[in-house]
Structure 1
Amino acid sequence: MREVLEGLLERTWLGITGLQWLAAGVILLALTPTLLLVRRTAVRRLRKHAMRTESDVDDAIADLVERSRGWFFALIGLRLATVTLDLPERWDHRVHIALIIGGMIQGGLWASTVVRYLVDRRFARHVQAGGASPQVTPIAQALLRLAGLVVVWSIVVLVVLSAMGIDITALVAGLGIGGVAVALAVQKVLGDILASISIIVDKPFAPGDAIQVGQMSGTVRRIGMRSTVLAGAGGEELVLSNTDLLSSRIQNFTRMQERRVALRIGVVYSTPQELVERLPALLRAAVERREQVRFERAALVELGESAIEYELSYWLTTADYAVFVAQHQQLLFDLLREMRELGYEFAFPSRTLYVVPPENEPPASPAPAAG
């Protein structure tokens, strides 16, 4: 038995002795289970550490380690084993190419995990903040995931083909031209879809917000992949393209913390000087005695064509429109009553025309008598 074993160890295959083949096999068979054991231990410890922390970075690292495949460890062991062998150049090259292909596929798995983590984390922040639309978030999240995975695996495939000796220049050019053609064909659709994703990420508004876009205003009812639906003030439904929506100026009234009010008041020029100078103080007092109101200024601002004009501005400390209407209405009632009691006369657009009679003309000379 011993002689048979010694004969096998001294025998050569592909110019390599049996002893060298045995050493390479031991490296391969020992390294792969060892790496698997290290992976399992690392994942278990990372999971335990992640349970004690609030950050999700630990979970992402644990997912990356867990995505390391056993066949990739086997390829690493195979490559290290072949280093100890003096293989023919052809076989050595094949093992090297196999490791590159396996490494790129494993890299694609790691990159896919990172893409999913980044996209999910981005959308999770908006969902927790309450600004994302439940109708759009899953679709937009899936689209971003798909786009990231397409980019990752396209790079993997191209690198693998290049490692296998295939010329990818024409393929890359063809994919570029085809991508441009597809993008041009669905330019409008892609623009609306990307705009919907931008709305979710940037959160200029959310369902339930009262907004104004140009001359149109309403309450956001639904954010779709291609359009946003508003409930108009008259009960009508307004459908706006997401691309057009983001290219316009949007006023979001729901997110107002305070509401500023500016009011112009005009009195006639025949108002006595004492009342003219007293009016700013009267306007200020009318504002300051009201609740949920902060005075800003009251001043004479212009001598108009038909009135002495004052401007009153104040802040309502709540964004509630119903409160604003009630407070502003009561303020106007008080101003009308007080100003009328003090003798102020409100001006209205008018123009005075002065007619000057012509001066006396000399009497006309008598016409000569007819001859």
Structure 2
Amino acid sequence: MTEAPETLLERTWLGITGLQWLAAAVILLALTPTLMLVRRTVARRLRNYAVRSVSDVDDVIADLVERTRGWFFALIGLRLATITLDLPERWDQRAHTALIIGGMIQGGLWASTVVRYLVDRRFARHVQAEGASRQVTPIAQTMLRLAGLVLVWAVVVLVVLSAFGINITALVAGLGIGGVAVALAVQQVLGDILASISIIVDKPFQPGDAIQIGQVSGTVRRIGVRSTVLAAAGGEELVVSNNDLLSSRIQNFTRMRERRVVLRVGVVYTTAQELLERLPALLRAAVERREQVRCERAALVNLGESAIEYEIVYWVETADYTVYTAIHQQLLFELLREMRELGYEFAFPSRTLYVVPPEGAPAAGQAEPAAAPG
């Protein structure tokens, strides 16, 4: 014969009445579906809002809500249910530990979503890039993702082990020493890989750009994970490690909008004063007659060792090197012709030496006295 419901509610298991067990079960079975329903409703509304919004922040918030697992809600319900019960200490501790472990795993899922969002957002403008940079961008993006996920889940694992009562001090120390050893062993490779990520992110140059590194110049052909390939000006292919590349001063000529030119002209000191004073205007006029040229200044700048020096500074309003060389050549031809016609004499490096005879020696052109007869 079955027992009456009143009798079951009054009976005790583990020192807890049936009524208390029933209340705990109601909390667990009611709270978990309710939280899941709330999650589904909030996620749907966030997705509808994200469709109309131009920002991507609401998308990641919706992802965080959707990645909240049902078992996490069940653990929350279980912990709330156990709070209402006067369980033995070991069972209460187990329920508490289960919630901590589940919370850390759920936190790892949330953190992984945030890491992916931050990395993808940082690389979003590079995904549409053309040429060889499209080959290295996914690699750099994946590596940053992997590094972030490894860090997140390493913290999760350590906290979970600590929740189980395992002393993680020695483990953390061992991982730190091992990490340092590995980093020292592959520091050159890691340096090149991190440098490639820096190139993709900061974009100091891209394939097709004409650059100069120290005394070497060329056109960027490909940006790899460990090195960058240049087509050198001499026609050969030059491979430079990314780490060495970023540690050097890089000049990017492709991003020039105009070219600044500094030209110095030297005339001899015997030039007439009138010609010296007319020369700045002559130099400026010669520059301003050119097309695609903007004159900045033309002036006397120095009294050198062997020349009176003038300086012309002008801008060629294009980055095309061929156009620059043609304009500069025509300017030089015109200056040579006009200055020679007006009587200017170009100076060249020279030095006058004055030789002083030693004391008591006869002057130049003076005969030595004849020796007395013996």
| TM norm structure 1 | 0.94
1:364 matched to which residue of 2? 370
Contact 1:132 1:203 in 2 (8 A): no
* Paired residue secondary structure (1:95): helix
Quote the Cα distance in structure 2 between the aligned partners of 1:288 and 1:319: 18
Quote the Cα distance in structure 2 between the aligned partners of 1:363 and 1:40: 124
Contact 1:131 1:203 in 2 (8 A): no
Distance 1:40 1:131, change over 3 A: farther
Matched, 1:136 2:142: no
Quote the Cα distance in structure 2 between the aligned partners of 1:153 and 1:327: 62
1:42 matched to which residue of 2? 42
Matched, 1:270 2:276: no
Distance 1:131 1:237, change over 3 A: closer
Query: Mapping of 1:195-234 within 5 angstroms?
Result: 195-234=195-234
1:182 matched to which residue of 2? 182
Quote the Cα distance in structure 2 between the aligned partners of 1:365 and 1:29: 137
1:288: how far off?
A: 1.5
2:359 matched to which residue of 1? none
Quote the Cα distance in structure 2 between the aligned partners of 1:366 and 1:191: 88
1:105: how far off?
A: 0.2
**Which deviates further from its counterpart, 354-363 or 25-34?**
354-363
AA matched with 1:12: T
AA matched with 1:6: E
Query: Mapping of 1:107-126 within 5 angstroms?
Result: 107-126=107-126
1:60: how far off?
A: 0.7
Quote the Cα distance in structure 2 between the aligned partners of 1:353 and 1:168: 83
Contact 2:132 2:223 in 1 (8 A): no
Quote the Cα distance in structure 2 between the aligned partners of 1:85 and 1:264: 94
Quote the Cα distance in structure 2 between the aligned partners of 1:2 and 1:318: 99
What is the aligned length? 368
Query: Mapping of 1:238-317 within 5 angstroms?
Result: 238-317=238-317
1:354: how far off?
A: 6.8
Quote the Cα distance in structure 2 between the aligned partners of 1:208 and 1:302: 41
Quote the Cα distance in structure 2 between the aligned partners of 1:13 and 1:3: 15
1:26: how far off?
A: 1.0
* Paired residue secondary structure (1:254): coil
Consecutive unaligned residues in structure 2, runs of 5 or more: 357-362
2:80 matched to which residue of 1? 80
1:125: how far off?
A: 3.3
Quote the Cα distance in structure 1 between the aligned partners of 2:131 and 2:60: 25
1:206: how far off?
A: 1.3
* Paired residue secondary structure (1:311): strand
1:58 matched to which residue of 2? 58
Cα RMSD for the two superposed structures: 2.0
